[in-house]
Structure 1
């Protein structure tokens, strides 16, 4: 399936504020249009609750800058000239997303309508350190950017997901257990200097949770995303579709919640504590257990993908260790149901897509241990986006930054500067496919 065949993830609708705030109003109007909440000028006036003259002035500036396009009549009953359809110009700028894992990275370039224009899957080794890995990511994103556009549309924002705790505001990882040499490294600032645009850095599971949540119906929120891979992580999305990061970005760091059954309390985790679910149920632990029982030299498993392939082929030893791990993960999920009360729990990572063993094991424990009130409407399923969840969430995060008050003003200035340099009006021609819509 081609990247462009995927449906757009849902954008959030901004909280409206009743004052003329420059960038705030540009952002409000652009996001109302981008989210589909307003399709013509009358809609904008009604939804914004502002004077028509105020809406017109700011909307005309967005159109002049080429951020919004207008044309094609909106179908309606009755006589009179139909209102003109408004849409965000998808090629006003581009965004990039990089979902970096322990062994690989999934990259994407998308337009402002979230259409993926180019994607890539590259190997990485976090142990090489931030400079080496980020250099690889930068080079691959530049290649994708060059291949994705022939109109030199600029990158306006880049979203990066990292497999460890992240200070989102600082754009830096915080003592990440599986990322030696990365603690405190200014990932956001380093890449922002190279790309010349804002770089948003987040935990990888947060991006997966956001992508998943915005691709599902709103009645599936709140959502808890659990990724089982080299480590175990979680992402929380609230009922209004926003990420819950917590006060210091530690929300969702579920890999270090304790479990006590099955002798888990005696197992020392790499964080220094005992009984962490990650220390007894991560894919890395499952692989070690399987390799310890193998008699043939050179047949050791190396990656989560290797384990997933054994599970998919019904290998008895692989099924045994996955079922045991699923029980421990289920204990943590059952606990979280009473803390967060999600409408949907999503299992992600290669193991979740390899078969039903992980899902069935987690379900069994959850429905046995959690109270009926927390499970009576619960949906517990694998990710609908699978390996795409991270870069879909990164694309949403980046697009919403571009349409934020600061982001949209920056975009308008970029468009105006480009038009002055080329002598061309920044606004694009209205696509013929939209005329008469």
Structure 2
């Protein structure tokens, strides 16, 4: 049963709560909303009129008549505002503009060194955002928020990176305050795997409420969606798989007393180090990907073993959280299906049968656009929350 099919009941349902019923994209009449909320017709009518005045809702034609004048329908207006969505990686940045429905309207991707520091990186991102928003087709639509994904731990309450290992100079930097010097709107910052999980769920698994996104690249991390809600933990560090110790397996080439973190075994740099020890020319994650795609047997086996090591950790995660989908993404996961095969090999063998009965372990179907989509969704969910919709309706009425 969808949220739109549940009756809210109670006379306290405000315009913001009524608005949530329209976020699924289906147009509804006032009579439909009366039925769904249990509110009086006059109450629903006044609140829908207020939503129309705010611009969040627009007329959507007429429903079929059952006799007399056909009733008018209303629908969510995704063009009521724009979101600037930013995906920052270790060596790239993507800046995009989306509407409130998560549709990407314009974007640009370029090489960028995150180690250049927050001022240099954010100045460029802000400048590119202003250029995208200055497009003639977008100029008249207000920007309502900025969403940014960064490749490191983030204190969610403040939006500040916290001791990020590959982001020198960013520790505790106030990203929201800096960006708000240019864009006076809410600025939400999150770890990149969290926005990737949101983007993947939105684009490819909208009906899935329990999903784990695992990024395997220069580092390793997981975004966890449980019960339909992104799980950040108490301070925002949930999903830090890379620092989980990997138990020894009889199938592993490691010595049985060699206990290491997952990132030390299965990240792109770790795989490259393994291949260098075998005489291969591999310095970076990109080198690993190229070797795998060229059919190098040592690289293929190293990637498969990395998958097994990731699977050792994920098997425990599956037993604890019982997700229905695990999505593998990141540069190493995109090198081919060898990592995926290694993960499946271990997870299906080591997790309990009930937890894996309907578990799908897949490569990312959304790909590189998942991050900016997730950053856009992060902001849209915040600005379209019942409380914030009520505040917008109240401001429009003044």
TM-score of the aligned structures, taking structure 2 as reference length:
0.90
Instruction: Report the counterpart of residue 51 of structure 1 in structure 2.
Output: 40
1:243 to 219, 223, 230: 230
Shift of 1:202: 0.9
Report matched runs for 1:103-114 at 5 Å. 103-114=91-102
SS of the equivalent of 2:334 reads: coil
1:93 to 53, 60, 81: 81
User: Please, what is the CA RMSD of the aligned residues?
Assistant: 2.6
Q: Deviations over 1:340-369 (max 9, x none)?
A: 110111101122223110100111111222
Instruction: Report the counterpart of residue 370 of structure 1 in structure 2.
Output: 351
Report matched runs for 1:180-329 at 5 Å. 180-217=168-205, 220-239=208-227, 241-261=228-248, 262=252, 263=254, 275-294=260-279, 300-302=282-284, 304-329=285-310
SS of the equivalent of 1:243 reads: strand
Shift of 1:288: 3.0
Instruction: Report the counterpart of residue 29 of structure 2 in structure 1.
Output: 40
2:328 to 347, 355, 364: 347
SS of the equivalent of 1:247 reads: coil
Distance 1:190 1:105 in 2: 17
1:159 to 147, 151, 158: 147
Distance 2:361 2:295 in 1: 22
Instruction: Report the counterpart of residue 175 of structure 1 in structure 2.
Output: 163
Shift of 1:328: 0.8
Q: Deviations over 1:170-195 (max 9, x none)?
A: 11111222222212111122212321
Distance 1:15 1:194 in 2: 42
Q: Deviations over 1:309-348 (max 9, x none)?
A: 3322322232122122111111011110111110111101
State whether residues 173 and 184 of structure 1, in contact with CA within 8 Å, keep that contact through their aligned partners in structure 2: yes
Distance 2:245 2:299 in 1: 24
State whether residues 204 and 366 of structure 2, in contact with CA within 8 Å, keep that contact through their aligned partners in structure 1: no
Q: Deviations over 1:82-139 (max 9, x none)?
A: 3222122222210121111111122210112222110111222121111111112111
Shift of 1:208: 0.9
Shift of 1:305: 3.7
Distance 2:184 2:256 in 1: 48
State whether residues 402 and 411 of structure 1, in contact with CA within 8 Å, keep that contact through their aligned partners in structure 2: no
Q: Deviations over 1:61-90 (max 9, x none)?
A: 1212322111411246x4333322212222
SS of the equivalent of 1:177 reads: coil
Tell me which moved more, 256-265 or 314-323.
Answer: 256-265
Distance 2:275 2:397 in 1: 60
State whether residues 109 and 148 of structure 1, in contact with CA within 8 Å, keep that contact through their aligned partners in structure 2: no
Shift of 1:377: 1.2
Instruction: Report the counterpart of residue 71 of structure 2 in structure 1.
Output: 83
Distance 2:104 2:207 in 1: 26
Distance 2:314 2:129 in 1: 36
Distance 1:138 1:19, change over 3 A: farther
SS of the equivalent of 2:96 reads: strand
Asked if residue 331 in structure 1 is aligned to residue 331 in structure 2, the reply is no
Distance 2:195 2:7 in 1: 22
Tell me which moved more, 219-228 or 354-363.
Answer: 219-228
Shift of 1:214: 2.6
Distance 1:282 1:150 in 2: 40
SS of the equivalent of 2:181 reads: helix
Shift of 1:203: 1.1
Shift of 1:410: 5.6
Asked if residue 67 in structure 1 is aligned to residue 56 in structure 2, the reply is yes
Shift of 1:408: 2.7
Asked if residue 102 in structure 1 is aligned to residue 83 in structure 2, the reply is no
State whether residues 38 and 47 of structure 1, in contact with CA within 8 Å, keep that contact through their aligned partners in structure 2: no
Instruction: Report the counterpart of residue 379 of structure 1 in structure 2.
Output: 360
State whether residues 157 and 401 of structure 1, in contact with CA within 8 Å, keep that contact through their aligned partners in structure 2: no
TM-score of the aligned structures, taking structure 1 as reference length:
0.82
Distance 2:136 2:17 in 1: 28
State whether residues 217 and 330 of structure 2, in contact with CA within 8 Å, keep that contact through their aligned partners in structure 1: yes
State whether residues 94 and 157 of structure 1, in contact with CA within 8 Å, keep that contact through their aligned partners in structure 2: yes
Distance 1:325 1:184, change over 3 A: same
